[in-house]
Amino acid sequence: MSVIVEKLALVGTGLIGGSFALALKQAGAAGEVLGVGRDPARLAEAQARGLIDRAAAWHEAGQADCILLALPVGETGTVLRQLAPHLKPGAIVTDAGSTKANVVAAAHAALGARAADFVPGHPIAGSEQSGPAAARADLFLGKRVVLTPQPATRAGAVAVVRALWEAAGAQVETLDAAQHDRIFAAVSHLPHLAAFALVDELALRPDNETFFRFAASGFRDFTRIAGSSPEMWRDISLANREALLAELDAYTAALQTLRTALSAGDADALSTIFSRARQAREDWMKKQDA
Amino acid sequence: MSVIVEKLALVGTGLIGGSFALALKQAGAAGEVLGVGRDPARLAEAQARGLIDRAAAWHEAGQADCILLALPVGETGTVLRQLAPHLKPGAIVTDAGSTKANVVAAAHAALGARAADFVPGHPIAGSEQSGPAAARADLFLGKRVVLTPQPATRAGAVAVVRALWEAAGAQVETLDAAQHDRIFAAVSHLPHLAAFALVDELALRPDNETFFRFAASGFRDFTRIAGSSPEMWRDISLANREALLAELDAYTAALQTLRTALSAGDADALSTIFSRARQAREDWMKKQDA
C-alpha cells in the first residue's frame, strides 16, 4: 500500500490512538508518527512501544497531514483550541470519540471555518483494557468505523480519513451525528452504565465478599465492560446525557415489566420475554457471523 | 480412580447431566449410566453421544446407587414423586438446580423420610448452550459445586455426592439453602434478568435493526447470558422469587442513583461510581485468577 499521509499526529497514545498508528505503519499508509500530550512519561512509553516515532509540541502537530484525537471526549474542545492556531493549510483533523454531537459542536467552536477539515469518527472497537500497552495493530481489523461528516465537511478530508481506517482494516460507514448518538446510547452506553451499576451495588454491601466469592462466568462476561476507563465513561455519559437518560428510563421500564410478571408469578409472561430476547440475540449473532 | 457408584441414573441428559456422566465415566468413578426422560429421541441422542449407556424406566432408575436430577428446577417435585415409589434402600438422590430452598421443600414433600437421602446441589458451571450436544467431560473442571445439605441429610449421602463432584474435577462447598438462594439471586439470577430485559427492550423497537446493526463486542458479552434457556430461567426466577424481587429493587435503585447523577451533570458522582465498580471488579478478577 502506498503512503496516505506523510505525517500523522496522535493526540492520545492509548489503546485507540496507538492501535491506529500501529495498523497504519504496518500497512505502510503513514510515514512519520508524532505523539502529543501532557504526560512525557506516557509519550516515552508510546515511543518505546513503537506506537509513535517521537514526541512533538502542538505547533509541530499542527503541521501534520492528519491529526487524530484519541482521548476522553470531554477533552476535545480544549485540545482543538490548543491545536487551532498551529494548523497548516489542508491539515485534516479527526477523532475517535464514542459520542459525536458534542464533538461536532466542540469542533465548530474551536476551529471556526477550519471545522470543514474536521472529520468526526468513531471506531466500534475497543476493550476494557486501556493505555499504550494495550495497543495492537489488528484492533480494527474487520471492525466498523462510523464517520459523521457535517454538510460543510470537506469531501476530500472525509476521503482521506476513510482511506486511513480502511488501511487499518476497518469497514467505514457514515451516519448523522445525532442518530449515531441515539444508537450508541442504546447498544453501548446503556450497557456500560448497567454493568457499572450492578457491580457497584454489590461492592457497596458490607458482606460483598460473600457474593463475589460465588460469582462465575456469567457474571464475568456481563460485567466485563465495568472494567472500562471511568474517565472515558464519565465523559461519554455527560456528552450523550439526553439520549442516555432516555435509554435508562426505557431500561428501567423493561426491568419493571419483568418485576411485575415475576411478582405476579406469571410464568407465561416471563417465558415470553426470555424467549423473545434469546431469539433476538440469536438472530443478531447470526448476522454478526455472516 | 475406583468406582464410586456402580449404577448412575440421570433424569435430564442435557448440558449438566450429560457433562456429569461424561466426567465420571472418564474418571472411572461411575459404572453403568442410565438415562430417564419423557423424550425417547433425546435419550437416543444422549446414548449416541455416549452420555448414557442406555435409556431406562423409572423403576430401573430407582435401583441406581445415585440418581442425578438435571432439569429445570420447576420439574423437581414431579420427578421426585415419580421416582419415590421405586427408590431402593440406600439409593442417593441429588440435583443440579440453580435454586435450592424450593428443591429442598420439593424433596421433603415428595420423599418423606427418604428426603434424608436427598443431597441438594448446584454446580456453578454452565453455558448459554444447552442440550446433549453441549455436554463435555471438562465442564466442571476447576469449577465450584455448592451442596446445601439439611440437618436431617444423611452424612454418608453427602460424602458420596461430594466424591462424585470431586471426581468430575469440581471443588465442593456447602452453604445454607436460603443463603445460597440469596447469593445467587444477586450474582447470577439478577444479571440474567438484566440481560434478558435489555435485549428484549431493543427487540421490541420497530427500528431494532438499526440498533442491532451497530452493537459490538461489549454488547455481545453483556448479553451472552440472554442466550440461555428460557424455560430454565423462568423456573429459576419463580423458584427464587422473593430474593430476586429484592435484587431487582436494589438494582433499580442503583440505576436511579446513576440517573440522578447523570441528570444533574454530576461528573464527580459518575466518576466515583464507575471507579468503585472497576476497582471491585478488578479485585474480584484477581481473586478468581488466584
Q: Given B190, B211, B238, which is nearest A265 (Cβ)?
A: B238
Q: What is the pLDDT of residues B70-117, one digit of tens each?
A: 999 999 999 999 999 999 999 999 999 999 999 999 999 999 999 999
Contacts of A190 (CB under 8 A, 6+ apart): A244, A247, A248, A251, B198
pLDDT in tens, chain A (290 residues): 689 999 999 999 999 999 999 999 999 999 999 999 989 999 999 999 999 999 999 999 999 999 999 999 999 999 999 999 999 999 999 999 999 999 999 999 999 999 999 999 999 987 777 889 999 999 999 999 999 999 999 999 999 999 999 999 999 999 999 999 999 999 999 999 999 999 999 999 999 999 999 999 999 999 999 999 999 999 999 999 999 999 999 999 999 999 999 999 999 999 999 999 999 999 999 998 77
Residues A96/A121, Cβ–Cβ less than 8 Å: yes
User: Does position B1 have pLDDT exceeding 70, yes or no?
Assistant: no
B145, B146, B202, B272: which to substitute to probe chain A, counting the most A Cβ within 10 Å? B202
pLDDT (0 to 100) of residue A130: 83
pLDDT (0 to 100) of residue B139: 96
Q: How far is A62 from chain B (nearest CA, A)?
A: 31
Whether residue A241 and residue B124 make contact (CB cut-off 8 A), yes or no, is no
Question: Which residues 221-260 in chain A show a CB within 8 A of chain B?
Answer: 221-231, 233-234, 237-238, 241, 244-245, 248-259
Q: What is the pLDDT of residues B215-274, one digit of tens each?
A: 999 999 999 999 999 999 999 999 999 999 999 999 999 999 999 999 999 999 999 999
Q: Give the integer Cα–Cα distance in Å for A121 and A182.
A: 15
Residues of B in contact with A230 (CB under 8 A): 271, 274-275, 278
Q: How many residues does chain B have?
A: 290
Question: Which residues 136-165 in chain A show a CB within 8 A of chain B?
Answer: 143-144, 146
Q: Give the integer Cα–Cα distance in Å for A290 and B3.
A: 47
pLDDT (0 to 100) of residue B129: 79
Any B CB within 8 A of A288 CB: yes
Chain B nearest-CA residue for A213: B284
Q: Which domains does chain B have, with CATH numbers?
A: 5-175 (3.40.50.720), 179-289 (1.10.3660.10)
Residues of A in contact with B146 (CB under 8 A): 214
Mean pLDDT of B40-50: 96
Q: Where are the beta strands (DSSP E) in chain B?
A: 5-11, 30-36, 54-55, 66-69, 92-95, 118-119, 121-123, 144-147, 171-174
Question: Which residues 170-199 in chain B show a CB within 8 A of chain A?
Answer: 183-184, 186-188, 190-199
State the ipTM, two decimals. 0.91
pLDDT (0 to 100) of residue A278: 97
Chain A nearest-CA residue for B203: A280
How large is the C-alpha radius of gyration of chain A? 21
Q: Given B188, B271, B274, which is nearest A219 (Cβ)?
A: B188
Whether residue A222 and residue B191 make contact (CB cut-off 8 A), yes or no, is yes
Q: What is the pLDDT of residues B115-153, one digit of tens each?
A: 999 999 999 987 777 889 999 999 999 999 999 999 999
The 8-class DSSP code of residue B277 comes to H
pLDDT (0 to 100) of residue A42: 94
Q: Where are the beta strands (DSSP E) in B89-229?
A: 92-95, 118-119, 121-123, 144-147, 171-174
Q: Which long-range contacts (CB under 8 A, 24 or more apart) does A275-279 make?
A: A275/B230, A276/B200, A276/B203, A276/B204, A277/B195, A277/B196, A277/B197, A277/B199, A277/B200, A277/B203, A277/B226, A278/B196, A278/B199, A278/B226, A278/B227, A278/B228, A278/B229, A278/B230, A279/B203
B213's grid cell: 446493526
Better pLDDT: A194 or B38: A194
